[in-house]
Amino acid sequence: MISVVVLTHNRLPFLRDCVESIRANGYADHEIVVVDNASTDGTAEALAGMDDVRVVRFDRDRELAACRNAGIDAARGDIIAFTDDDCAIEKDWLVRIEADLRDHDAVGGVALPLGDFHPPRWWDDEINWLVGLSVPGHYGPRAGEVYLPASLNLAYRAPVLRALGFREGAPGLAGRNMTREDSDLWLRTRAGGHRTLFDPSLVVYHRVPPERLTVSFCVRRAFSDGFSAWHRGETGGGLRRTLAYVLAQPFTLAARMIRGGGRPRAKEWVWPVRQAGLVWGGIVQGAAAITAAARDTAKAVPGVLHALLIILREAALLACARGLLKTRGPRTPPPAVGGAPHSDGGDATTS
């Protein structure tokens, strides 16, 4: 059985369409698990009327990694697949997942626009990843290696997924849905020696609202991606090297424009912003480590001072004892009975 886990938050109309696309998939042996992340738009009431949907509900907003892990815990299938509430799956999606995972442990696919998609003139297909769509590299030989799948189109053998899970707690600057939990899972899957596959014929359609097709959104999204990447252990070749690139790239692009090279493509300014987020992640993490060390040192100071005072007291007592021994000198022998003490003048006589 394939368990399809769908995350949702206050997008009931989209969720209905997503569930309907799964129902119409033509693969009988499946279940739908919806993780409702504290929706307040009537989603809970609507889900109560869907007899073929199993529901996990949070009463307060949780990070996406925690929601996905809750879906894993609730799933009963030997294959667990993920998509999002603003997506619709291709009709052969479940059939392809089942076929792909006969010889692999994890599979990811592409995300194409759902409905109207009218990007601005400055848009570049290479930055589609910022809005949850596939880039040209997803159709090339490095798909799944450099160009990673997203959790809106991802499936795993259940035992492998349960062993790995989504890592919770990584910070994101531009929203809690920008923490790279899916990329982190995929990279750990490959690093663990599991068999992965990127299948460009495994298709999900994703809605992209117009407000995401703006420079401000792309900057926030790119910067947060880099910030989260650092906290998940992706160093980008080293902090110094990345910082040098971030500082040099604006001058490189400006010089090219002055020489008549034209405006930079969107990917040429998006990637430095992303790497700037990675650098900032390293700075914040380093500052936090220094602060924690200073706090621990401050806590330890009273104990250190107490030990130092004891050492100084013992040293002073020892010094005093040595001084007393030096000043006392040798003892004078007592005088003889009936005579005077001996002197350098010779023997004494009595009269």
Domain assignment present for 157: yes
Domain boundary among 183, 214, 245: 214
Q: What is the pLDDT of residue 91?
A: 95
Q: What is the pLDDT of residue 291?
A: 65
Domain assignment present for 203: yes
**Nearest in space to 132 (alpha carbons), one of 91, 178, 99, 68:** 178
For residue 194, the enclosing domain spans 2-214
Q: In this structure, are 35 and 67 located in the same domain?
A: yes
Q: In this structure, are 193 and 256 located in the same domain?
A: no
The H-assigned helical ranges of 101-238 are: 158-164, 181-191, 215-231
Q: Quick check: 153 and 110 in contact, CB under 8 A?
A: yes
Q: Quick check: 56 and 34 in contact, CB under 8 A?
A: yes
Q: What is the pLDDT of residue 31?
A: 97
Q: What is the pLDDT of residue 67?
A: 95
Domain boundary among 180, 214, 248: 214
Q: In this structure, are 22 and 104 located in the same domain?
A: yes
Domain assignment present for 70: yes
Residues 6 or more apart whose Cβ sits within 8 Å of residue 269: 249, 253
Q: What is the pLDDT of residue 156?
A: 99
Q: In this structure, are 55 and 144 located in the same domain?
A: yes
Residues 6 or more apart whose Cβ sits within 8 Å of residue 123: 213, 266
Name the phi and psi angles at 3, rounded to 5.
Answer: -95, 125
Structural domains counted in the chain: 2
Q: In this structure, are 135 and 175 located in the same domain?
A: yes
Q: In this structure, are 178 and 69 located in the same domain?
A: yes
Domain assignment present for 277: yes
Instruction: List, edge to edge, every strand of the sheet that includes 196-206.
Output: 53-58, 30-37, 2-8, 79-84, 154-157, 106-113, 196-206, 87-89
Residues 6 or more apart whose Cβ sits within 8 Å of residue 143: 137, 198, 200
β 30-37/79-84 pair status? unpaired
Residues 6 or more apart whose Cβ sits within 8 Å of residue 144: 108, 186, 196, 197, 198
Q: In this structure, are 172 and 95 located in the same domain?
A: yes
Q: In this structure, are 118 and 60 located in the same domain?
A: yes
Place of tokens 């994703």: 206
Domain assignment present for 342: no
**Nearest in space to 225 (alpha carbons), one of 94, 103, 130:** 130
Q: In this structure, are 133 and 281 located in the same domain?
A: no
Q: What is the pLDDT of residue 107?
A: 99
Q: What is the pLDDT of residue 337?
A: 43
Place of tokens 């990694």: 65
Q: In this structure, are 176 and 45 located in the same domain?
A: yes
Structure tokens at 52: 């073929």
Give the pLDDT confidence of 287-339 residue by residue, as tens digits: 766 666 556 555 655 666 666 767 776 666 666 656 555 554 554 454 444 44
For the chain, list residues with pLDDT below 50: 174-175, 328, 331-332, 334-351
Q: In this structure, are 204 and 253 located in the same domain?
A: no
Which CATH number belongs to the domain containing residue 6 in this structure? 3.90.550.10
Q: Quick check: 196 and 175 in contact, CB under 8 A?
A: no
Give whole-number Cα distances, 81 to 36, 52, 154, 281, 284, in Å: 17, 17, 6, 31, 35
Q: What is the pLDDT of residue 343?
A: 39
Domain assignment present for 344: no
Q: Quick check: 104 and 198 in contact, CB under 8 A?
A: no
Collapsing DSSP states into helix, strand and coil, what is residue 307?
Answer: helix
Domain assignment present for 332: no
pLDDT over 70, % of the chain? 80
Domain assignment present for 244: yes
**CA-to-CA distance for 131 and 140, rounded, in angstroms?**
20
Q: In this structure, are 11 and 109 located in the same domain?
A: yes
Q: What is the pLDDT of residue 199?
A: 98
